[in-house]
Chains A and B, each alone.
Chain A
Amino acid sequence: MKRPLVAIGLEIYALQLAFLQLGNGVRTDEAKYLLDIPYPHPPLARSIMGLTDGWMHHELFWRIVCATLLVQSVWFVMHIARRLSPWSRGSLLVAWLLSAAVVFQGGTVMMAPLTAVFGLVFVWLLLKERAPDPASAGLIALVWLASLFTAYQGILFAPLVWAVLHRSNQRLSVRLFLWTVPVVLLALYTLSNPLAAASMFIHAGKDALQLPVDRLTDTAFIAGIGGSIVLSIVGTIGLLWKPRAGLIISLLLVTAYVLLSRFEYYAILFTPLFIAGAFIVVSRFPVSKYLLLIGVPVATVVLCFLYPPVVEPSPVPSVLQELNERAVGEGIILIRGQFGHEWQHASWSPIRRYHSTLLEDAKAVICLEPCDEVAAQPKWAPLAEMPLSVWIRSAL
């Protein structure tokens, strides 16, 4: 009876995280996955998400699913730590559930938290008491393949996966095959979708001119978020204390990746590795559990105060809802100016970039930049009381 109650408690927490994110509406990156837009990530998770995009509550549904996956994956931590004392075990559970990365990113529909869950599964396979059976190496390879086809960042855990396959005691040739083939398939997928690779290069080149010092401080900050500073420090000490190549090299890869691409949402990629390190420390020095039990929640609260989540409801859903009601009939919606994928996510009609030759096929025009050409034509009428300049076909 105890386990179902814990699961229900965790689910309530997951729901809270999901609802916390709901206030901001869908962000451009989230819209990409929710609409199954094929850039930049491979298709596994996004194509499943895209199946429900015709459903009214699809955003809430996926926020809950993502938060649930992240929160309920604490059972893996519980299993790793099951031989520890209840308080030591509890400290690791608190460290996962209340790390700033989980609090900030639970409930977001992003690929980084899903990759972190895969990372935690690999950490579990590496640290759990019983080594994986050689016969189950195929399953490990399937999970590895699934993680790579969820997000490219899965590759950062490649050393960890190698260590897990090594632990399974399979023959070297089989291990090599199971480890390499998913990577080759990912490369093949990338070649089959050239614009994905192109978009990654464009994305990566955006802050190429940043100073190394800025990169280092940003990376340290992101790693700090990954474990609410306390778990980050304890975890790193643990990983260095009893070095395991799989964990250490994965940590180095994640760090190197964040140095190149400094987005705060990558903080969660550190968390499973820090949990592994913290497990090593708590197993050896049980007194360190108090540091995690008290330090992680306190640090998360402090971080929440210092960097409060910005709740800034976007005008996009209201504009497009109004448009759906007023601009009836078939036709495309044209948008002038720079815009994100959240516009597509809020729209029930195709959206294209504004071009004067397309006006004939359009049922509405949204002007994020001045569009004098539309204003000059009597067949277009502005929609009143809108936060943006929006035009629909005039009744005249």
Chain B
Amino acid sequence: MLSIVLPTYNEAANLPELLKRITAVLKQGSFEVIVVDDDSPDRTWEVAEKLVQQYAMLRVLRRVGRRGLSSAVTEGFAMAKGEVLIVMDADLQHEPQLITQLAKAIEDGADIAVASRYTEGGSVGEWVTGRRILSRVATFLARKVPPVEVSDPMSGFFALSKKAYDPIAARLQPTGFKILLEVLACLPHGTKTAEVPLQFKQRLSGESKLNLTVELQFIIQLLRILLRRLSMVLFFLVVILASVMLFPRVANLSPLYLDPAVRTQVQTTLERFAEMEGWLLSDVAVIAARTEYVEVEYRPHFRGKDPVTCHRLFHDRSRLTDCE
């Protein structure tokens, strides 16, 4: 069974035509359509509820007080009964003919199948040059970030097997508009992908939802995914850096820990010099311990820049010597 999720906002004018086209394509198959509407001011949800009488396979979820395409999709997925989950836009820019191709790709063994504008045979249609460039740049960035690579990670038209979706459902962070990108970020390496060419159509009615907020959300989403992916690398880098800084210091101090006689001598020498020089012990850092001497960094702490000096304190001398 196919579960087609349609996230909607102000798509009242497009919805009847879309459902007509979907049923025309899938008339013989087993499928359900789930409209998830974010309480559209044009009452898309009401139109959808009326259409239930005409289309028995239609289910409607009206979300009040919750907004966002990605979360609408995940809520739709949560309601879905099918083994193949499909998402598409309700603005008629996605051709329902492709549903069968996407579903077939999943049946043939793919975990995820994407209707791509950037695969051979696909196109972005009649977009203006500015939007075309913007989409290219965003797609290029988004392609490299998730562990699973597809040619159009920004596509809003894709199919996913329930088997692949269930393990990642709890980990998705459905914010913003790019649900496919989020799904790709959570799927494991080695996920089987398939692509079918998508020729993007022009809107028949309604307005595009692309605006500055959406673009900003996309950048944040991209950074979040990148940070998540690189978190292990970052952690390793920090650990290596800290180890490189700390190991030599500990090695220089090792006699202090290995030889109790050195420890006692260091303590006595340190107290003697601190008394003589009026040093506060909190201004002294021991940097090396040897059987003959202890090396310290003296940094008197006060407001402004603290001068730092290095001294070698010999156990058998009473004069400060500078470090070599």
- Chain A positions within 8 Å of B, measured between CB atoms, are 32, 35-39, 53-54, 58, 130-131, 133-139, 141-142, 145, 178, 181, 185, 188-189, 191-195, 199, 332, 334, 341, 344-355, 357-358
Evaluate whether A188 and B246 lie within 8 angstroms (CB atoms) in the complex, with A349-B302, A357-B276 already known. Answer: yes
Chain A: which residue is nearest B266 at the CB level?
A194
Set of chain A residues within 8 Å of B281, measured between Cβ atoms = 195, 199
Evaluate whether A350 and B302 lie within 8 angstroms (CB atoms) in the complex, with A38-B282, A142-B238 already known. Answer: yes
Interface residues of B in 232-247 (CB under 8 A from A): 232-236, 238-239, 242-243, 246-247
- Asked if B186 lies at the interface with its beta carbon under 8 angstroms from chain A, I say yes
- Asked if B209 lies at the interface with its beta carbon under 8 angstroms from chain A, I say no
Q: Which of B243, B253, B280, B303 is A53 in contact with, Cβ under 8 Å?
A: B303
Q: Which of B173, B239, B301 is A344 in contact with, Cβ under 8 Å?
A: B301
Is B249 in contact with A54, judged by CB distance below 8 angstroms? no
- Asked if B279 lies at the interface with its beta carbon under 8 angstroms from chain A, I say yes
Q: Which of B235, B243, B280, B304 is A138 in contact with, Cβ under 8 Å?
A: B235
Chain A: which residue is nearest B297 at the CB level?
A38
- Asked if B285 lies at the interface with its beta carbon under 8 angstroms from chain A, I say yes
Interface 1/0 per residue, B272-288 and A, CB below 8 Å: 00111111111111100
Set of chain B residues within 8 Å of A358, measured between Cβ atoms = 277-278
Q: Which of A181, A194, A345, A349 is B286 in contact with, Cβ under 8 Å?
A: A194
Cα separation A185 to B239 with both chains bound (whole Å): 8
A25 shortest CB reach to chain B, Å: 14
Evaluate whether A135 and B234 lie within 8 angstroms (CB atoms) in the complex, with A189-B246, A347-B302 already known. Answer: no
Is A192 in contact with B246, judged by CB distance below 8 angstroms? yes
Cα separation A352 to B278 with both chains bound (whole Å): 5
Set of chain A residues within 8 Å of B236, measured between Cβ atoms = 138
Interface 1/0 per residue, B164-207 and A, CB below 8 Å: 00000011110000000000001000000000000000000000
- Asked if B57 lies at the interface with its beta carbon under 8 angstroms from chain A, I say no
Interface size class of B (residues with CB under 8 A): 35 or more
Cα separation A286 to B316 with both chains bound (whole Å): 72
18 further A-B pairs in the complex, CB-CB below 8 A; given A135-B229, A145-B235, A334-B278: A37-B282, A53-B303, A131-B171, A134-B171, A138-B231, A138-B233, A139-B234, A142-B234, A185-B242, A185-B246, A188-B242, A192-B250, A332-B300, A341-B301, A350-B300, A350-B302, A351-B300, A353-B278
Is B285 in contact with A193, judged by CB distance below 8 angstroms? yes
Chief secondary structure at chain B's binding surface: helix
Residue from the set B274, B300, B301, B307 with the largest chain A CB neighbour count within 10 Å: B301
- Asked if B228 lies at the interface with its beta carbon under 8 angstroms from chain A, I say yes
Chain A: which residue is nearest B304 at the CB level?
A54
Is B285 in contact with A195, judged by CB distance below 8 angstroms? yes
Chain B: which residue is nearest A141 at the CB level?
B235
Set of chain A residues within 8 Å of B300, measured between Cβ atoms = 332, 344, 350-352
B239 shortest CB reach to chain A, Å: 6
A42 shortest CB reach to chain B, Å: 11
- Asked if B127 lies at the interface with its beta carbon under 8 angstroms from chain A, I say no
Cα separation A64 to B281 with both chains bound (whole Å): 30
B188 shortest CB reach to chain A, Å: 9
Is A139 in contact with B228, judged by CB distance below 8 angstroms? yes
- Asked if B305 lies at the interface with its beta carbon under 8 angstroms from chain A, I say yes
Cα separation A372 to B257 with both chains bound (whole Å): 43
Is A348 in contact with B303, judged by CB distance below 8 angstroms? yes
Interface 1/0 per residue, B106-122 and A, CB below 8 Å: 00000000000000000
Evaluate whether A191 and B279 lie within 8 angstroms (CB atoms) in the complex, with A54-B303, A138-B233, A138-B235 already known. Answer: no
Closest 7 CB pairs of A and B: A138-B231, A352-B278, A350-B300, A138-B232, A192-B249, A139-B231, A138-B235
Evaluate whether A348 and B301 lie within 8 angstroms (CB atoms) in the complex, with A181-B239, A194-B286, A355-B278 already known. Answer: no
Chain A: which residue is nearest B279 at the CB level?
A352
- Asked if B227 lies at the interface with its beta carbon under 8 angstroms from chain A, I say yes
Set of chain B residues within 8 Å of A332, measured between Cβ atoms = 278, 300
Evaluate whether A37 and B231 lie within 8 angstroms (CB atoms) in the complex, with A194-B253, A194-B256 already known. Answer: no
Set of chain B residues within 8 Å of A352, measured between Cβ atoms = 277-280, 300
Residue from the set B234, B239, B247, B275 with the largest chain A CB neighbour count within 10 Å: B239
Chain A: which residue is nearest B230 at the CB level?
A138
Cα separation A192 to B301 with both chains bound (whole Å): 20
Set of chain A residues within 8 Å of B276, measured between Cβ atoms = 355, 357
Q: Which of B230, B274, B275, B301 is A35 in contact with, Cβ under 8 Å?
A: B301
Chain B: which residue is nearest A54 at the CB level?
B304
Cα separation A345 to B231 with both chains bound (whole Å): 38
Cα separation A90 to B247 with both chains bound (whole Å): 48
B220 shortest CB reach to chain A, Å: 15
A80 shortest CB reach to chain B, Å: 16
Chain B: which residue is nearest A130 at the CB level?
B170
Set of chain A residues within 8 Å of B239, measured between Cβ atoms = 145, 181, 185
Is A137 in contact with B304, judged by CB distance below 8 angstroms? no
Q: Which of A35, A131, A139, A334 is B302 in contact with, Cβ under 8 Å?
A: A35
Evaluate whether A131 and B286 lie within 8 angstroms (CB atoms) in the complex, with A351-B300, A352-B280 already known. Answer: no
Cα separation A334 to B257 with both chains bound (whole Å): 34
A261 shortest CB reach to chain B, Å: 19
Evaluate whether A188 and B243 lie within 8 angstroms (CB atoms) in the complex, with A130-B173, A135-B229, A195-B284 already known. Answer: yes
A352 shortest CB reach to chain B, Å: 3
Cα separation A384 to B242 with both chains bound (whole Å): 51
Chain A: which residue is nearest B249 at the CB level?
A192
Set of chain A residues within 8 Å of B246, measured between Cβ atoms = 185, 188-189, 191-192
Set of chain B residues within 8 Å of A349, measured between Cβ atoms = 302
Cα separation A357 to B279 with both chains bound (whole Å): 13
Evaluate whether A351 and B302 lie within 8 angstroms (CB atoms) in the complex, with A130-B173, A195-B285, A195-B286 already known. Answer: yes
B89 shortest CB reach to chain A, Å: 26
B261 shortest CB reach to chain A, Å: 16
B126 shortest CB reach to chain A, Å: 37
Interface 1/0 per residue, B290-309 and A, CB below 8 Å: 00000000001111110100
Set of chain B residues within 8 Å of A133, measured between Cβ atoms = 171, 186, 228
Residue from the set B235, B256, B284, B303 with the largest chain A CB neighbour count within 10 Å: B303
Set of chain A residues within 8 Å of B280, measured between Cβ atoms = 344, 351-353
